[in-house]
Structure 1
Amino acid sequence: MRGRAVDWEQPVVVAVVDSGIDAGHAWFAGAPLVVRDFTGEGLGDVSGHGTFHAGQVWHLAAGRCRLLVARVVAADDVARPEAVVEALAWARDEGAEVVSIGLGAEVAPPRLHAAVREVAARAAVVAPVGNVLCYEPGPAALYPARYEEVLGAGTRARDGRPGTAGCAGLDVRAEGEAEGPWTGGSREVRLGTSVAAARVAGRVAGLLSLEPWLREAVRAGRARQVLLARLGSDGGLHHEGVP
């Protein structure tokens, strides 16, 4: 299937797949964004997680991106695999160049991997490896971070807190604690691998906006190869050396 032509002068398109967004929050003033619901419950953000996630992306990209926000987490704090698959297909069709997934599970259906492969053919996909790995070694990251097409993000040690333990699926460590927007117009400080993943995604979007060659490589399906090499020397992000 032929991909759409890319205007390198246009903002990088970033899809945030999470619990939605408080689009009226002052943090996103002036942000070009499109929100779509895949839960059947309507737009908005019940948990606040997606709002915080999108806020990190927007901040780290320094406003040089356009946000596609997919609500896949329902009010019961669960994301159906079908909703995530549909959201990834939407992101792909809308030309997403970075896909930031703010969730994970210990098991996943084959159709999820197929959807990840399709979107990763023309985008950088980032997901958290799981918070438990910050406190004890584990055999592997959560899905979809465990997939080879995804940049699995964990936290790095800071201020006496442990960083994510080495595990299959861990590619990049980043700051796991940050302040960001929360529902109702407030701000909070959050800690975890989803924070790290969102910050990696935002940093990637910022890099793509400044380096056309890197953006072109990602759109050509070489996101993992070029980004693992690039992130290893960038701004405190630590590449784990996974081939």
Structure 2
Amino acid sequence: MSNTPAWSAAFDRGSLEEVVGLPIDRVREWAFGGSTGADIKVAVVDSGIDADHPRVGGIAGAVAFELDPDSDLGYVDREGPHDDLVGHGTACAAIIRSLAPEAEIYSVRVLGANLKGRGALLHAGVRWSVEHGMQVANLSLSSKSETMFGPLHEVADEAYFSGTVLVCAANNLPGPTYPSQYASVVSVAARPGDEEMALAYNAHPPVEFGARGIDVDVAWADRGSITATGNSFAAPHVTGMVALMRGKHPWLTPLQVKAVLQAASINSVTG
């Protein structure tokens, strides 16, 4: 798999090992069948969302975190509609919508026009998602900063214990990738294929799941679309699956969600 994002090689079909999954008959039907993601709150922590993009079809709410040196925290949060400064968040939201059409999607903007942001804003966006009862949060972004390892780890644990499933894309480049390397999150890298619901499990983490993320037709800025490759676009496929699963089985904990995702992977067998 040349010219693919970092962490993707583990999901090459020749590299996949069989893993033992939960003994649930027809696990994919049990997990996803008949669900639309209705009543499930999904936060897209990213560059914003174009709510008017035809592939998004509206959002349930929005908040933007912006740097402010005059604030005690160093940033402010602004509730209300906002633009997508790049197109990246819109791409993620549209993928989620394609799988979970009735999910309630919230835009949590933490990235700037250069698709970069401070770790403190990422941390604030995750905390907002937890405090506002998001059942799932899509993080198609990460931090390589060692200073953010502890704070992001702490808020990822808060999400895990409070019931918010964090679906985190690994960085496209080798090296540290937080929070996707934490055991408390659902970590995702890209793998080839056209099937939106295809999923593979990596028996040798830290990145546990591989989903569609190579040459994907995604929504973008100005109500347009592009063909893109990246772990960023694999994560929302998994987020959509989690929204379907929690819409059908709202009692599932983050621990149970991960176990069912593993059981629903193409390389999972019943022990």
Q: Does TM, normalized by the shorter one, top 0.5?
A: yes
Q: Does the alignment pair 1:20 with 2:48?
A: yes
Amino acid at match of 1:199: H
Alignment of 1:99-110 (within 5 A): 99-108=137-146, 109=148, 110=150
Partner of 1:228: 258
Return the match for 1:169 from 178, 192, 206: 206
AA aligned opposite 1:173: G
TM normalised by structure 1 equals 0.77
The alignment partner of 1:195 has SS state of: helix
Asked if structure 2 preserves the Cα contact closer than 8 Å seen for 1:98 and 1:124, the reply is yes
Equivalent pairs: percent with the same residue?
25
Structure 1, unpaired ranges of 5+: 1-8, 133-137
Q: Where do 1:1-243 residues align within 5 Å?
A: 11-29=39-57, 31-39=58-66, 43-61=82-100, 63-108=101-146, 109=148, 110-121=150-161, 122-132=163-173, 142-158=177-193, 168-177=205-214, 178-210=216-248, 212=249, 215-218=250-253, 223=254, 225-234=255-264
> TM-score if structure 2 supplies the norm length?
0.70
Residue identity in the other structure for 1:37:
A
Rg larger for: 2
Shift of 1:165: 8.8
Query: CA–CA distance in 2 between the matches of 1:69 and 1:238?
Result: 33
Are the aligned partners of 1:174 and 1:238 in contact in 2 as well (CA < 8 Å)?
Answer: no
Q: C-alpha separation between the residues in 2 aligned to 1:25 and 1:158?
A: 25
Report 1 or 2 for greater relative contact order, CA contacts < 8 Å, sequence distance ≥ 6: 2
> What is the SS of the residue equivalent to 1:196?
helix
Cα pair distance change 1:165/1:171, threshold 3 Å = closer
Q: Which residue of 2 aligns with 1:135?
A: none
- Please state how far the C-alpha of 1:192 moved relative to its aligned partner: 1.1
- Any unmatched runs of 5+ in structure 2? 1-36, 69-77, 195-199
Q: Retained in 1: the 8 A contact 2:170–2:207? A: yes
2:92 and 2:207 map into 1 onto residues whose CA distance is 19
